[in-house]
């Protein structure tokens, strides 16, 4: 079997950043998949499931309710390796195009107060596995250390 594209990226060179993972033609329209890498693979600890789960709930809620990107959001969810998330948007984008959206989203998460949307037994299959304080911490860290004044090396996969 052939390796899938995401397994051909050198994860030893990959920095925290925002990358176009792939572009697919679906019914004559382009869907762009973004790799939102929050921790450096194989160099930093991965995120725990509770904060990943919390970020997923908050980010998906934010994105689906966004004025410009709400209807373009196809999916937001965690990577199995727990180093980041995938965001699928309808449209043909480059990484730099969505930096303002991600800054807005991670600002929202970092300042979020109250009950996490969908964090109850009726709405979620594992609602007790949430950690809002750590999700807020990680969102603020990513916002400040990666997204603010992001460099090109964090917007394009390493060669």
Enclosing domain of residue 27:
5-154
Helix (H) or strand (E) holding 15: none
Q: How many residues does the chain have?
A: 159
Helices (H) and strands (E) in the chain, counts: 3, 4
Can you spell out the DSSP letters for 109-158?
A: HHH--SSPTT-STTT-TTTT---HHHHHHHHHHHIIIIITT--GGGTS--
Does some domain include residue 50?
yes
pLDDT of the chain, 159 residues: tens digit per residue: 988 777 888 899 999 999 999 999 999 999 999 999 999 999 999 999 999 999 999 999 999 999 999 999 999 999 999 999 999 999 999 999 999 999 999 999 999 999 999 999 999 999 999 999 999 999 999 999 999 999 999 999 998
pLDDT of residue 121: 96
Instruction: Write down the pLDDT at residue 137.
Output: 98
Domain membership flag for residue 85:
yes
What pLDDT is recorded for position 4? 79
Residue 44 lies in a domain: yes
- For residue 74, tell me if it sits in a domain: yes
- Least Cα distance to 105 among 61, 145, 137 occurs for 61
The domain spanning residue 16 has which CATH number?
A: 3.30.1360.80
What whole-number distance in Å separates Cα of residue 133 and Cα of residue 31?
33
Residue 159: inside a domain? no
């Amino acid at each position: 079997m052939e390796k899938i594209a995401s397994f051909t990226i050198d994860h030893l060179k990959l920095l925290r950043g925002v990358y176009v993972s792939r572009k697919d033609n679906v019914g004559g329209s382009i869907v762009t998949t973004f790799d939102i890498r929050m921790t450096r693979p194989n160099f930093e600890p991965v995120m725990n499931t509770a904060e990943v789960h919390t970020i997923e709930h908050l980010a998906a809620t934010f994105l689906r309710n966004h004025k410009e990107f709400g209807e373009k959001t196809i999916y937001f969810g965690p990577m199995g390796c727990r180093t980041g998330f995938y965001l699928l948007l309808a449209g043909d984008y480059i990484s730099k195009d969505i930096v303002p959206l991600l800054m807005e989203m991670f600002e929202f998460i970092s300042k979020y107060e109250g009950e996490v949307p969908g964090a109850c037994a009726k709405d979620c299959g594992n609602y007790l596995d949430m950690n809002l304080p750590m999700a807020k911490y990680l969102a603020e860290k990513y916002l400040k250390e990666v997204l603010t004044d992001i460099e090109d090396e964090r917007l394009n996969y390493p060669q």
